[in-house]
Amino acid sequence: MPNDKPIPQSIELPGSASTRPVKRSRGGAKGLRITDVATAAGVSAITVSRAFNNPESVAAETLERVRQVVQRLGYVPNRLAGGLSSSKSRLIAAIVPTIAHSLFSETIQVFSETMSQGGYQVLLALSGYNNSNEEALLAAVLSRRPEGILLTGVAHTDSLRERLRNVGIPIVETWDMTETPIDMLVGFSHYQIGEAVAERLLKRGVRHPGLVSADDQRAMARRSGFRERLAREGIRDIAEIIVKSPSSVSTGKTAFAGLMKQAPELDGVFCGSDLLAIGVLGEAKRRGIEVPSALSICGFGDLEFASETTPQLTTVRVDGTRIGVSAARCLLERLKGGPGTRVVDVGFQIVERESV
């Protein structure tokens, strides 16, 4: 037989053994309303609303009391209803290619934490490395009325750029650099990274360089900087293998074999990711090629294991944490009515280890 036990209709008030009836309404966990939470916490409904939407404006003791009541009652705020009534969703959309690599996951982690401290929740979407995927994802997330958007890169279709300029909410692009951002930008120059790596290999004495790179637009910008810096030294015959994104260690191994067929005299390789570089390093060791005396190898990303290889991998480090925090602060400032910082260049660093 069905369980016909009545649902308790009272909430114990703080510091009191008395109970007060709880009015039930349709929808929401257990039919609870924000006024029920306010009654149980001994505060006003406005204070409870601020605890959800603007927690930094609520005294710490009060905020903790509200949170404890919310947890005890299992109250879930109706964000949709609140968004419709206030025209604010408290939602930020973040679109990144992948979180499989720590490059992007580090940025998203601190970005989400910083936005949460400001009273906003982050909706994460993964676009891969395809502009059409990004456009479809943005169409989907815009229907949820986000108050701000984080994008990865600055290469977007013309139609998407126009739509984003007209959508009327703060937008921050990341992990790239351009003179014409849609709105705000936190990133660095991939082209300059390519130049800097070429300069480092030239100083090492490399005269027969090669390149292994993924085919996404940011990697191609690094390729351009690399090739053009070498061209200024009269080095234009550069062996290269372009692979599909995302890259992998096995792809790096296969690519190095292809490079050696193109240029048996190869003495330096710039890899578009540390994963590719690990593959190149492994295949070079298998062939008995000494690194760095006979072959210099530089990666990109400074992933955790880059310092654990033998020899240790020279690579390019970008501060993903700074990108995430800066992007969040730019959005929060704009959302509070401030001007927001137009462009933040976090720069990059070549981490000198043993492979160059």
Tens of pLDDT along the chain (356 residues)?
444 433 333 333 333 333 344 443 333 444 678 898 999 999 998 998 888 777 888 999 999 999 898 878 877 665 555 544 455 778 999 998 888 777 888 999 999 999 999 999 999 988 887 767 777 888 788 878 899 999 999 988 888 888 888 888 999 999 999 999 999 999 999 999 999 999 999 999 999 999 999 999 999 999 999 999 999 999 999 999 999 988 899 999 999 999 999 999 999 999 999 999 999 999 999 999 999 999 999 999 999 899 999 999 999 999 999 999 999 999 999 999 998 889 999 999 999 999 99
Q: Are 274 and 245 spatial neighbours (Cβ–Cβ below 8 Å)?
A: no
CA dist 246 and 193 (Å) reads: 19
148-152 and 10-12 beta bridge pairing: unpaired
Write down the number of H helices and E strands in the chain.
Answer: 12, 14
CA 83 to chain centre: 25
What domains sit in the chain, N to C, each tagged with a CATH number? 10-77 (1.10.260.40), 89-188+320-347 (3.40.50.2300), 190-317 (3.40.50.2300)
Q: Are 90 and 83 spatial neighbours (Cβ–Cβ below 8 Å)?
A: yes
Instruction: Say which amino acid occupies 303.
Output: L
- Give pLDDT, residue 3: 43
CA 25 to chain centre: 39
Give the DSSP H or E segment for 141.
helix 131-142
Among candidate residues 243, 201, 203, the one with its CA nearest the CA of residue 226: 201
Contacts of 355 (CB under 8 A, 6+ apart): 277, 281, 291, 292, 296, 297, 298, 309, 311, 312, 313, 314
Q: Phi, psi (5° rounding) for residue 54?
A: -150, 65
CA dist 350 and 193 (Å) reads: 9
CA 14 to chain centre: 42
Q: Are 170 and 150 spatial neighbours (Cβ–Cβ below 8 Å)?
A: no
Question: pTM for the complete prediction?
Answer: 0.75
Alpha helices in 217-273 (DSSP H): 217-231, 249-262
Task: Work out the angle at residue 38's Cα, subtended by the Cα atoms of residues 34 and 42, and round it to the nearest 5 degrees.
Answer: 175
Tell me the chain's radius of gyration from C-alpha atoms.
Answer: 26
Helix (H, G, I), strand (E, B) or coil at 42: coil
- Give pLDDT, residue 167: 83
CA dist 203 and 197 (Å) reads: 10
Q: Are 238 and 211 spatial neighbours (Cβ–Cβ below 8 Å)?
A: yes
343-345 and 315-317 beta bridge pairing: unpaired
Longest dimension (CA), the chain: 87
CA dist 293 and 267 (Å) reads: 9
